[in-house]
Structure formats: structure tokens, C-alpha cells
């Protein structure tokens, strides 16, 4: 399953990348499982597990960790942001 994953704000800075495309391993079918898979990469990727209130979107719609992901989806992860 091919996915495009986007990273925003401080998460993008911590990971050193704004986006990546890759083939998702079998058995990963939800946003929560994808997050855990990415976090398991270790080092800076651990930020996906430690960032409080991390939000996710699938195809530009805010979703929870149980949301399904499908071939061709765009998944975005972003921490809470503040602004003025």
C-alpha cells in the first residue's frame, strides 16, 4: 500500500523532513498503527510517540487513531500550534 505522509511544524523540524512516500508493510491499516510503525524507527522518530496532543489527518480530514488508511491516501501528522 503506497502512502504519502506529511509532517508539520515542530515535528517536521525534529524529523528533518516535510514529507515522504513509501510502501506500507502488511498489517498496518490504521493511523494509530502507522504512527507506531513510524515511531519504531527510533531516534528523532520517537517524537511521534512523545508529542502530546499530536493530531492526524487523512486526505485533509482530521481523524482519530482508529481511522483506516488505504492505498493512495495522504496522512498528515501535526502537533498543536499556537499563533497570534
Alpha carbon distance 64, 31 (integer Å): 7
Alpha carbon distance 69, 84 (integer Å): 34
Provide the pLDDT for residue 64.
96
Provide the pLDDT for residue 84.
55
Burial category of 80 from C-beta neighbours within 10 Å (exposed 0-12, middle 13-18, buried 19 and up): exposed
Give the global pTM.
0.91
The 10 Å CB-count burial string (b at 16+, else e) for 15-24 is: beeeeeeeeb
Provide the pLDDT for residue 52.
85
Give the right CATH number for 2-78 from 3.20.20.70, 3.10.20.30, 3.30.1330.80, 3.90.226.10: 3.10.20.30
- At 49-64, the pLDDT tens digits run 888 889 999 999 999 9
- At 1-46, the pLDDT tens digits run 899 999 999 899 999 999 999 898 899 999 999 999 999 999 999 9
Amino acid at each position: 500500500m503506497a502512502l504519502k505522509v506529511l509532517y508539520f511544524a515542530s515535528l517536521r523540524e525534529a524529523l528533518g523532513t516535510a514529507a515522504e512516500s513509501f510502501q506500507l508493510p502488511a498489517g498496518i491499516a490504521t493511523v494509530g498503527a502507522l504512527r507506531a510503525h513510524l515511531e519504531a524507527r527510533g531516534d528523532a522518530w520517537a517524537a511521534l510517540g512523545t508529542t502530546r496532543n499530536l493530531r492526524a489527518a487523512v486526505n485533509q480530514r482530521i481523524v482519530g487513531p482508529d481511522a483506516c488508511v488505504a492505498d493512495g491516501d495522504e496522512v498528515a501528522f501535526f502537533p498543536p500550534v499556537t499563533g497570534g
